[in-house]
Amino acid sequence: MADLVLDTGAFTQFYDLWGEDAGEIVREMIDMFLNEAPAMLAGMEHALEAANARELRRLAHTLKSNAGTLGARRLYDACRQLEALAAEENMDAAQQMYERVRLEYHAAENALREYMETLSGA
């Protein structure tokens, strides 16, 4: 599943839990993610510039968790790798992985926006 940009099966748990209200809740979760993720990416860039491995690791972990919740599998995987590189304080490799995280975020953003159009009440 790591090759999927978006695994919409991740939303099944929400539909099982909230039933017909799930569409609106999922929409709110996606909106929140899309509003907050750019600041996390900017923070990662600043952490890289400052060689602040601890902050980079924290931000990568947070974005990874959020991506995982929403089924953004490739973004999750890239963030997991970035988090590990930051934990090792391997900032050169982390810089390269950050570029992948950015690319995967944009792919996930597009996929999430497309998914939102399929939700009831769109």
Are 72 and 5 spatial neighbours (Cβ–Cβ below 8 Å)? yes
- Average pLDDT (60-73) is 97
Dist. CA 59–CA 39, nearest whole Å = 10
- Evaluate the CA torsion angle 86, 89, 90, 96 in order and state its sign: positive
Backbone phi, psi, residue 50, to 5°: -90, 0
Cα 93 to the center of its chain, rounded Å: 20
Domain boundaries, the chain: 8-118
- Check whether 94 has a pLDDT greater than 50: yes
CA distances from 23 to 10, 54, 70, 99 (A): 13, 36, 13, 32
pTM: 0.91
Question: How many Cα atoms occupy the beta-carbon half-sphere of 67 within 13 Å?
Answer: 32
Q: 12-60: per-residue pLDDT in tens? A: 888 888 888 888 899 999 999 999 999 999 999 999 999 999 999 999 9
Coil, strand or helix: which one is 59?
helix
Question: Could you say which DSSP state residue 71 is in?
Answer: T
CATH fold for domain 8-118: Four Helix Bundle (Hemerythrin (Met), subunit A) (1.20.120)
